[in-house]
Amino acid sequence: MDINFEIEQEIGVLSESARAWTKELNLVSWNGAKAKLDIRDWSPAHEKMGKGVTLTQEEAEALYDLLGKYLGK
């Protein structure tokens, strides 16, 4: 099964590995669906990807609140 994706917005890089892959936060549309926030590892030209996590707007807001509590902000 082919997975189609479109990175609609590159938001930022969280880290970079020794092999030049980057862990990124992006807005990604998967198989033509509405874009979601996405955290995953990407190869330098975005032709390969690792496993990741996608979040709806509501899930991202809940994560933001939880991280704020965890980090004491």
- Summarised one tens digit per residue, pLDDT across range 20-71 is 999 999 999 999 999 999 999 999 999 999 999 999 999 999 999 999 999 9
Cβ atoms of 3 and 23 closer than 8 Å: no
4: number of Cβ within 10 Å:
9
**pTM flag (> 0.85):** yes
C-alpha neighbours within 13 Å on the C-beta side of residue 66: 6
- Looking at residue 29, its pLDDT comes to 97
Cα(17)–Cα(62) distance, rounded to whole angstroms? 28
How large is the C-alpha radius of gyration of the chain? 13
| Max intra-chain CA distance, the chain | 43
